[in-house]
């Protein structure tokens, strides 16, 4: 803090905090409050001293630059016409994420956003959302967010920066931007793109490139080779009868997963035996959400999938298909892939020309994407199940350009580097040594939401707005454009990338709103003016701005030259030459959500682990390495050693280890720091997606891991009931026939449940992908606390809803199945009978309700709950919540204190809101009017909720379905939540090891044993488990 010493000794008026900070009082205060630390004030600024000064000066002067929203919101001097205190308002906006933004609707209470939902009008969302979108709200309220602009660590105001920039800019403009580079994240935004061209006009010699550690770069390059230009695919999964995913996790991990989940579910939903369903083949290294839905799943190291694709193309050619660019495939003709599998898939694709779809994952090299384009083209799928648009307003990630930029930085050719978001010091390929290169840059500016790894190494750190605080716009993958509107004033006076670029372009501060409006009034709303603007804001999308797309001609030469220039690897990983797969985290993405309690504690859909990453590997690999479950494994690659716990995943490819990004942070935030290990140091330009040459050695030491589910086997119990489509057609009631439910009686007089609303839920396991969106939706809606790593390890997680994940099959080649599990609202609830104080009881609408005030916390109800869905407040989890996070809570839901039990309420607050509305309008609640939070979030519409007393309601029709069954209903619990059994659609040529025996319905006699002869004999018996 250099200015501490330089300021006037006794300023009559202080202008900056630095001047104020130099008063004697302040020094004494610091000495008293932080003994031994005051000396740091004179030393070069450390993060610690910065915080000290900030904390102390705020306490001393009551001066806060922080504008808490309460100041703006309460009280209304005059109440706005449409605002009713206590009633939430909903605003549409868009969550920008790379090249595929997601349309959302945000629930705000008295001006503070509390919940994110999907926007039904937006093509990427169709009303649903996902784990990351739902969780991203908490990022805005993160108390560890960057609160100040910093110049070399010293606090500066935005005006200081503007002043600095205006001085600095002159030189840049003079030499036309020579040595000026701008590094952003990939984006799809008309305004940002307009500003980009203006920027490049003003600084013709400057460069603006984008980099993201997780991107569609491989696909972009592949499609560019195959078609001549970068294309944006627009998939129509709903029309695809046969889908082959080449490590494409299109249901969760990849771009537009919400939209794709909805479309995939549409092709998979079966309501009557006559219905058809799609068939999904998945080839992948690790387990994924998409893999869990596969009818046939082939595990294979990620690096082998390219050669597999080539082999498939050759197989298709052999069967008479002509594939563009196949002349380059000769080297892959001999291979050791499962020929039966290959042939069966090829035949299936050939029999479904125009109705099939092959899709490659973002980790697969460009050549695979080009080849997949050619295959889809040859199969006639283009224009049917997949279309393409040429991209506009989009800047994609380009790692080659990043490498070039870094080289120039190291060579001292970059004088000014501006980074719009991103965190390249943390996540750029390790061999680039971005942090080192940054030293060769004279002036660097980083706009960031956190004082992250990059921010600590730059000249200027500028605090960046969260998307709920900013104006902006976005273009969806189908071309539709939307406006991003703020829900709240920036909490910390942050600025958006649009505002920063606009400043750099115009030399004057420009409000984000004005910049966006300028774009829109000029391009989309010409002649419509304010009315059109308001409509766009209201809808969250410009109507009819999307396009269907077409299918550009395949450029055979482009495909083959790419295949020749970048030949596929044919190396197989071995025990001593392991393949490391660098996977994006389902919960932290690339690490940007590392300080987000909801997401850090959200169990990974595959490993069910929270609070850490792990080395996910197969049983055989673990045995080969001589390591046991949870043993600390030292992984070495790129000269770096990291330590992670072993986690055996049935169905993982051998000699391949999946490592998740985003963990192992230091100095990032109170939630993020110290959990898991950072894998980015292992990730080099040569292998950003996966790399051979990894080594792993066991240590014999066990690491504690916090997972919400320890046991992966169903133990032969009929919990998730499944059958093949064939069996279903022969035995439509197979799910019910699997278990004999005797005619059970009640101990007391039965309630008839025949009057008024009777709430019930049904969950279609056939379309549930296990993505966990519902879990976070529930957490956000119901103020479910985050408890921390140790409590989770001790089985004290508070999630009202969980995704039970079981493995079926062998430990080597296990298949993953999922089941959402929450309070089943049993009509004969075991919990209610044992509560000594009547704290949990039934209401006349069939809800199992908790009276928190009455609960004394005997936990008898939890003991007696066969579903174990009750959650107990072992401590007071809410009293120490930072004030900011308290603002993220839903005021319609009671915050629970210590010592009481809680559980799913079927979103009783939403039921009541629906009933009030209906009563005010003098009608009954309409079917579908009340949606639970989980139901609303679900991308596949797997959850139906409503009045089961209304025979016409959707949930009633689901419950009448022959696949409907209640978990553990043979114990007379009479659950109000029931499940529709899962179906499989295996290729008869391949059969299905799990379903290869004939279904034998349950004998029916009570004496014959309950369900011991379920489907396929004891097919769950030989299960993989932990």
Residues 862-891 that bind another protein (CB under 8 A): 862-864, 866-868, 870-876
Q: Which is nearer to another protein, 757 or 806 (CB)?
A: 806
Q: Which is nearer to another protein, 697 or 838 (CB)?
A: 838
Per CB under 8 A, the list member of 339, 666, 701, 711 interacting with another protein is 711
Pairwise CA distance, residues 978 & 764, whole Å: 9
Find the largest Cα–Cα distance for the chain.
94
Pairwise CA distance, residues 571 & 692, whole Å: 9
**Least Cβ distance, residue 711 to another protein (angstroms):** 4
Q: Does 716 bind another protein (CB under 8 A)?
A: yes
Pairwise CA distance, residues 455 & 106, whole Å: 30
Residues 484-523 that bind another protein (CB under 8 A): none
Per CB under 8 A, the list member of 899, 1001, 1003, 1017 interacting with another protein is 899
Q: Which is nearer to another protein, 716 or 993 (CB)?
A: 716
Query: For 665-758, where are the E strands, in sequence order?
Result: 690-702, 706-707, 722-724
Per CB under 8 A, the list member of 3, 545, 685, 858 interacting with another protein is 858
Torsion of CA 312, 313, 314, 318, to 10 degrees: 100
**Least Cβ distance, residue 782 to another protein (angstroms):** 17
Residues 362-421 that bind another protein (CB under 8 A): none
Per CB under 8 A, the list member of 45, 468, 777, 855 interacting with another protein is 855
Count of residues that interact with another protein, criterion CB under 8 A: 62
CB atoms within 10 A of CB 921: 8
- What stretches of 203-256 show up as alpha helix (H) in DSSP? 217-227
Q: How far is CA 358 from CA 270, 377, 437, 894, in A?
A: 22, 10, 40, 48
**Least Cβ distance, residue 387 to another protein (angstroms):** 40
**Least Cβ distance, residue 852 to another protein (angstroms):** 10
Pairwise CA distance, residues 426 & 399, whole Å: 15
Query: For 75-161, where are the E strands, in sequence order?
Result: 89-95, 102-109, 112-118, 149-151, 154-156
| DSSP secondary structure letter of residue 329 | G
Q: Return the exposure string of 564-576: e unless at least 16 CB atoms fall within 10 Å of the residue's CB, then b.
A: eebbbbeebbeee
Q: How far is CA 536 from CA 42, 540, 645, 959, in A?
A: 53, 6, 49, 39
| DSSP secondary structure letter of residue 684 | B
Q: How far is CA 783 from CA 138, 748, 788, 877, 922, in A?
A: 12, 36, 15, 11, 31
User: Could you tell me which residues come within 8 angstroms of residue 833 by beta carbon, excluding any fewer than 6 positions away?
Assistant: 864
Structure tokens at 955: 């949930």
| CA nearest to 29, candidates 61, 5, 4, 64 | 61
Q: Which is nearer to another protein, 47 or 854 (CB)?
A: 854
Q: Which is nearer to another protein, 133 or 942 (CB)?
A: 942
In the stretch 772-791, what mask flags binding to another protein with x, by CB under 8 A? Answer: -------------------x
In the stretch 669-708, what mask flags binding to another protein with x, by CB under 8 A? Answer: ----------------------------------------
**Least Cβ distance, residue 865 to another protein (angstroms):** 9
**Least Cβ distance, residue 717 to another protein (angstroms):** 7
**Least Cβ distance, residue 485 to another protein (angstroms):** 41
Q: How far is CA 166 from CA 192, 205, 464, 507, in A?
A: 21, 19, 20, 6
Pairwise CA distance, residues 860 & 971, whole Å: 18
Q: Does 262 bind another protein (CB under 8 A)?
A: no
Q: 711, 975 in Cβ contact below 8 A?
A: no
**Least Cβ distance, residue 848 to another protein (angstroms):** 14
Per CB under 8 A, the list member of 710, 755, 996, 998 interacting with another protein is 710
Residues 950-1009 that bind another protein (CB under 8 A): 967-968, 971, 973, 1007-1009
Q: Which is nearer to another protein, 618 or 824 (CB)?
A: 824
Residues 280-299 that bind another protein (CB under 8 A): none
Q: Which is nearer to another protein, 147 or 870 (CB)?
A: 870
| CA nearest to 640, candidates 612, 603, 672, 680 | 680
Residues 792-831 that bind another protein (CB under 8 A): 794-796, 802, 804-806, 819, 821, 830
Q: Which is nearer to another protein, 362 or 802 (CB)?
A: 802
| DSSP secondary structure letter of residue 819 | E
Per CB under 8 A, the list member of 111, 507, 991, 1011 interacting with another protein is 1011
Pairwise CA distance, residues 474 & 472, whole Å: 7
Q: Does 715 bind another protein (CB under 8 A)?
A: yes
Structure tokens at 400: 């080659």
Q: Which is nearer to another protein, 86 or 836 (CB)?
A: 836
Q: Which is nearer to another protein, 374 or 787 (CB)?
A: 787
Q: Does 141 bind another protein (CB under 8 A)?
A: no
**Least Cβ distance, residue 668 to another protein (angstroms):** 27
Per CB under 8 A, the list member of 59, 70, 744, 837 interacting with another protein is 837
Q: Is 176 helix (H, G, I), strand (E, B) or coil?
A: coil
User: Could you tell me which residues come within 8 angstroms of residue 523 by beta carbon, excluding any fewer than 6 positions away?
Assistant: 190
**Least Cβ distance, residue 896 to another protein (angstroms):** 11
Q: How far is CA 217 from CA 125, 418, 1012, in A?
A: 23, 22, 51
Pairwise CA distance, residues 886 & 865, whole Å: 31
Q: Which is nearer to another protein, 988 or 1004 (CB)?
A: 1004
Per CB under 8 A, the list member of 173, 330, 686, 856 interacting with another protein is 856
Per CB under 8 A, the list member of 441, 688, 835, 885 interacting with another protein is 835
**Least Cβ distance, residue 461 to another protein (angstroms):** 39
| CA nearest to 445, candidates 181, 228, 807 | 181
Residues 719-748 that bind another protein (CB under 8 A): 719
Q: Does 859 bind another protein (CB under 8 A)?
A: yes
Per CB under 8 A, the list member of 834, 893, 895, 1022 interacting with another protein is 834
**Least Cβ distance, residue 818 to another protein (angstroms):** 10
Q: Which is nearer to another protein, 826 or 847 (CB)?
A: 826
User: Could you tell me which residues come within 8 angstroms of residue 55 by beta carbon, excluding any fewer than 6 positions away?
Assistant: none
Contacting range for another protein; rule: CB under 8 A; set: 7-15, 295-303, 632-640, 857-865: 857-865
Contacting range for another protein; rule: CB under 8 A; set: 92-100, 231-239, 369-377, 855-863: 855-863
| DSSP secondary structure letter of residue 826 | -
| CA nearest to 937, candidates 261, 268, 254 | 261
**Least Cβ distance, residue 1019 to another protein (angstroms):** 14
CB atoms within 10 A of CB 336: 9
**Least Cβ distance, residue 795 to another protein (angstroms):** 4
**Least Cβ distance, residue 798 to another protein (angstroms):** 10
Q: Does 714 bind another protein (CB under 8 A)?
A: yes
Q: Does 1017 bind another protein (CB under 8 A)?
A: no
Structure tokens at 866: 């066969």
Pairwise CA distance, residues 904 & 793, whole Å: 21
Pairwise CA distance, residues 252 & 605, whole Å: 10
**Least Cβ distance, residue 1010 to another protein (angstroms):** 6
Pairwise CA distance, residues 752 & 746, whole Å: 12
Q: What is the contact surface with another protein in residues (CB under 8 A)?
A: 709-717, 719, 791, 794-796, 802, 804-806, 819, 821, 830, 833-838, 854-860, 862-864, 866-868, 870-876, 898-901, 967-968, 971, 973, 1007-1012, 1025
């Amino acid at each position: 803090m250099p200015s501490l010493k330089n300021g006037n000794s006794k300023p009559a008026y202080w202008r900056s905090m630095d001047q104020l900070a130099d008063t004697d009082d302040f020094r004494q205060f610091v000495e008293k409050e932080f003994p031994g630390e005051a000396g740091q004030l004179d030393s070069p600024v450390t993060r610690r001293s910065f915080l000290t000064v900030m904390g102390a000066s705020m306490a001393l002067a009551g001066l806060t630059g922080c504008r808490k929203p309460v100041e703006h919101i309460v009280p209304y001097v005059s109440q706005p016409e449409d605002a009713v205190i206590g009633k939430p308002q909903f605003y549409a906006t868009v969550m920008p994420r790379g090249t595929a933004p997601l349309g959302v609707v945000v629930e705000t209470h008295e001006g503070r956003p509390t919940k994110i939902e999907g926007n039904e009008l937006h093509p990427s969302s169709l009303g649903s959302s996902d784990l990351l979108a739902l969780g991203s709200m908490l990022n805005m309220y993160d108390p560890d967010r960057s609160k100040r602009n910093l110049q070399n660590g010293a606090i500066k105001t935005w005006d200081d920066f503007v002043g600095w920039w205006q001085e600095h800019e002159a030189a840049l403009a003079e030499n036309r931007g020579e040595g000026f580079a701008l590094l952003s994240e990939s984006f799809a935004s008309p305004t940002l793109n307009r500003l980009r061209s203006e920027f490049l006009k003003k600084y013709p010699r400057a460069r603006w490139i984008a980099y993201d550690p997780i991107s569609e770069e491989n696909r972009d390059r592949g499609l560019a080779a195959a078609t001549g230009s970068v294309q944006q695919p627009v998939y129509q999964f709903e029309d695809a009868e046969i889908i082959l995913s080449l490590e494409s996790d299109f249901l969760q991990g990849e771009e537009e997963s919400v939209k794709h989940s909805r479309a995939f579910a549409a092709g998979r939903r079966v309501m009557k035996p006559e219905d058809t369903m799609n068939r999904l083949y998945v080839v992948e290294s690790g387990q994924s959400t998409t893999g869990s839905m596969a009818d046939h799943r082939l595990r294979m190291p990620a690096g082998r999938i390219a050669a597999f694709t080539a082999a498939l193309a050759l197989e298709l050619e052999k069967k008479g298909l002509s594939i563009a660019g196949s002349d380059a495939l000769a080297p892959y003709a001999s291979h050791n892939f499962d020929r039966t599998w290959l042939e069966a898939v090829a035949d299936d694709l050939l029999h479904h020309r125009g109705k099939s779809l092959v899709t490659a994952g973002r980790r697969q090299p460009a050549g695979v994407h080009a080849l997949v384009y050619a295959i889809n083209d040859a199969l006639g799928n283009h224009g049917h199940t997949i279309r393409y648009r040429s991209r506009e307003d989009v800047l994609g990630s380009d790692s080659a350009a990043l490498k070039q930029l870094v080289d120039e930085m190291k060579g001292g050719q970059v004088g000014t580097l501006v980074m719009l978001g991103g965190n390249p010091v943390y996540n750029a390929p390790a061999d680039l040594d971005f942090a080192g290169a940054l030293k060769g840059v004279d002036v660097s500016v980083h706009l960031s939401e956190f004082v992250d790894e990059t921010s600590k190494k730059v000249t200027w750190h500028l605090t960046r707005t969260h998307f709920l605080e900013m104006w902006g716009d976005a273009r969806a993958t189908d071309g539709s454009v939307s406006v991003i509107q703020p829900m709240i004033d920036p909490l910390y006076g942050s600025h958006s990338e649009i505002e920063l670029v606009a400043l750099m372009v115009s030399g004057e501060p420009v409000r984000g709103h004005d910049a966006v409006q300028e774009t829109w009034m000029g391009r989309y709303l010409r002649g419509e003016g304010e009315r059109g603007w308001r409509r766009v804001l209201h809808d969250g999308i410009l109507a009819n701005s999307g396009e269907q797309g077409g299918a550009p001609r395949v450029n055979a030469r482009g495909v083959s030259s790419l295949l020749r220039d970048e030949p596929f690897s044919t190396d197989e990983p071995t025990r001593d030459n392991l393949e490391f797969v660098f996977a994006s985290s389902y919960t932290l993405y690339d690490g940007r959500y590392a300080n987000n309690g909801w997401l850090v504690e959200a169990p990974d859909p595959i490993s069910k682990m929270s609070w850490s990453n792990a080395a996910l590997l197969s049983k055989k690999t673990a045995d080969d390495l001589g390591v046991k479950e949870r043993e600390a494994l030292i992984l070495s690659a790129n000269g770096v050693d990291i330590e992670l716990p072993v986690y055996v995943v049935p169905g993982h490819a051998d000699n391949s280890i999946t490592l998740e990004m985003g963990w192992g942070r230091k100095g990032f935030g109170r939630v993020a720091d110290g959990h898991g290990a950072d894998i980015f140091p292992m990730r080099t330009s040569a292998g950003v997606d996966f790399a051979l040459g990894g080594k792993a050695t066991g240590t014999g030491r066990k690491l504690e891991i916090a997972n919400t589910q320890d046991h992966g086997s169903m133990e032969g119990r009929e919990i998730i009931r499944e059958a093949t489509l064939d069996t279903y057609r022969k035995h439509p009631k197979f799910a019910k026939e699997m278990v004999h439910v005797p005619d059970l009686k009640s101990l007391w007089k039965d309630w008839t449940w025949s009057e008024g609303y009777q709430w019930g839920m049904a969950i279609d396991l056939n379309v549930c992908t296990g993505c966990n969106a519902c879990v976070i939706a529930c957490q956000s809606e119901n103020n479910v606390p985050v408890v921390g790593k140790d409590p989770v390890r001790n089985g004290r997680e508070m999630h009202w809803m969980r995704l039970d994940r079981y493995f079926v099959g062998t430990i080597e080649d296990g298949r993953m199945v999922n089941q959402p599990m929450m309070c089943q609202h049993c009509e004969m609830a075991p919990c209610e009978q044992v509560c000594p104080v009547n704290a949990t009881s039934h209401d006349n609408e069939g809800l199992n309700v908790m009276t928190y005030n009455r609960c004394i916390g005997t936990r008898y109800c939890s003991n007696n709950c066969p579903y174990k869905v009750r959650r107990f407040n072992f401590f007071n989890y809410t009293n120490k919540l930072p004030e900011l996070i308290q603002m993220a809570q839903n005021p319609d839901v009671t915050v629970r204190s210590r010592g009481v039990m809680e559980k799913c309420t079927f979103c009783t607050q939403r039921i009541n809101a629906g009933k009030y509305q209906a009563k005010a309008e003098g009608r009954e609640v309409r079917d579908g009017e009340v949606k639970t939070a989980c139901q609303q979030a679900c991308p596949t519409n797997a959850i139906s909720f409503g009045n089961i007393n209304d025979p016409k309601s959707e949930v009633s029709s689901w419950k009448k379905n022959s696949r409907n069954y209640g978990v553990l209903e043979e114990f007379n619990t009479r659950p109000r939540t029931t499940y529709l059994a899962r179906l499989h659609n295996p290729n008869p040529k391949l059969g299905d090891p799990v379903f290869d025996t004939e279904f034998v319905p349950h004998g029916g006699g009570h004496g014959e044993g309950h369900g011991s002869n379920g489907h396929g004999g004891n097919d769950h018996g030989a299960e993989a488990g932990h």
